Amino acid sequence: MKTTALHALHTELGGKLVDFAGWELPVQFAGGLKEHQHTREAASLFDVSHMGQVLIHPLTGDMADAAAALESVIPASVAGLEDGRQRYGLLTTPSGGVTDDLMFAHHGDRFFLVLNAARTDVDLEVLRALGGVRVEHLTDRALLALQGPGAEDALATLIPEVRGMVFMDSHVLGDVWVSRSGYTGEDGFEISLPNDRAEQFARALLAIDGVEPAGLGARDSLRLEAGMCLYGHELSESITPVEADISWAIPKVRRTGGSRAGGFPGADVILPQLDNGAERRRVGLRPEGRALAREGSPLFADEACTSGVGIITSGGFGATVGGPIAMGFVPAEASVGSTFYTQVRGKALPMTVTELPFVPHNYKR
């Protein structure tokens, strides 16, 4: 398995290491529940160095050319992104599905992309097929995520400039690149820096009162409470952005009637769905009682569990919510408060459609 620059530190701190997308990473340190709650209350440090980091350089030196190239595969407004800012984007397939979801930032003379680890090789094939740009896959940089209400105070002790940043700012501070974003629903930062500086930087953060290490388990439960999609669960090549309820990632300028409408893979499927809706959509679900509904479990319209209408894509215990939560796909006409059923140990479990996110986002706007 591949290891990150913090592998020795994870071992020293007693992290329980697992295989994740071919990387040996900590799933927990003190325990997933404790780490989840600590992130909501203070600040947790996650190693997300397995994510793909890529720079897109325009061959002409004109960022408008690089933006146009990226807009041919990403249905977002890349051209409208200001220097020092970041957006969420999607790589789409010709059939309207999603190759990957990603973050892209404008760093002056280049775009900086962060890709899902398991999809990096697939994404690189797509990006390297673009004309007019040079694609640089960065393999010598770590990526750390400091998340929680105490993240700003903690990081500002090392990088004072972060106090002036707001949600989705992405700044180049020498060889350290900082974005105010994350995958927990809390305020926080993602910090890209050279591998040879990562351990020292992580140790400095962990020495700050209130900062604790956290693993992949807490990261997953936090993103579930925050109502965020996970590739391979709520996103895949067979799920469209409209079905996944992330239509907000496709702005008006790229939709029917917009000045740069279409021009991306799957536009002939996605644009009509944006106009007319899809047959299914992602929703939040609250199981009755304390039983957990798991990924892959079918959803039924009736208590006898004979009429299958959907599927659960993620499920677990919401520590902040104080009970089991899930996300899944149901018929698009289903409203908040509607009831569906799944089976747990042979018994029907009622599932109530609930607004997302389960826990409000706490970003600094």
Enumerate the H helices of 114-177 as residue ranges: 120-128, 151-156
In this structure, the chain runs to a length of 365
Q: In terms of DSSP bridges, do strands 98-106 and 141-147 run parallel, antiparallel, or are they unpaired?
A: unpaired
Rounded to two decimals, what is the model's pTM?
A: 0.97
Residues 6+ apart with CB under 8 A from 32: 215, 217, 218, 221
Q: What percent helix, strand, coil does the chain show, rounded to 5?
A: 25, 35, 40
Confidence of residue 95 (pLDDT cuts 50, 70, 90): very high
CB 184 within 8 A of CB 147: yes
Dihedral, 20, 23, 24, 26 alpha carbons, nearest 10: -50
Confidence of residue 337 (pLDDT cuts 50, 70, 90): very high
Gap between the Cα atoms of 50 and 128, Å rounded:
20
Gap between the Cα atoms of 341 and 318, Å rounded:
19
Of 92-96, 164-168, 342-346, minimum mean pLDDT range: 342-346
Please provide the average confidence, as pLDDT, over all residues in the chain. 98
What is the arithmetic mean of pLDDT over 117-145?
98
How much is the pLDDT for 89? Answer: 98
Produce one character per residue of 165-174: b if its CB has 16 or more CB atoms within 10 Å, e if not: bebbbbbbee
How much is the pLDDT for 356? Answer: 98
The DSSP letter of residue 82 is P
Gap between the Cα atoms of 271 and 202, Å rounded:
44
Residues 6+ apart with CB under 8 A from 275: 255, 256
How much is the pLDDT for 166? Answer: 98
HEC-encoded secondary structure of 309-346: EEEEEEEEEECCCCEEEEEEEEECCCCCCCEEEEEECC
- Which backbone phi and psi does 251 adopt, to 5 degrees? -75, 170
What is the arithmetic mean of pLDDT over 147-155?
98
What is the arithmetic mean of pLDDT over 270-292?
97
What is the arithmetic mean of pLDDT over 16-40?
97
CB 105 within 8 A of CB 85: yes
How much is the pLDDT for 34? Answer: 98
Enumerate the H helices of 72-175 as residue ranges: 120-128, 151-156
> What share of the chain has pLDDT > 90, as a percent?
99
What are the angstrom distances between the C-alpha of 108 and each of 70, 130, 202? 16, 20, 27
* Residue carrying the six token digits 């599927």: 311
pLDDT per position as a tens digit, 165-208: 999 999 999 999 999 999 999 999 999 999 999 999 999 999 99
> What share of the chain has pLDDT > 70, as a percent?
100
CB 37 within 8 A of CB 319: yes
Gap between the Cα atoms of 208 and 283, Å rounded:
38
What is the arithmetic mean of pLDDT over 278-303?
96
Sign of the Cα pseudo-torsion (200, 204, 205, 206, in order): positive
Gap between the Cα atoms of 244 and 197, Å rounded:
38
What is the arithmetic mean of pLDDT over 9-31?
97
Residues 6+ apart with CB under 8 A from 174: none
Write out the DSSP string of 92-114: E-TTS-EEEEEEEEE-SSSEEEE
How much is the pLDDT for 318? Answer: 97
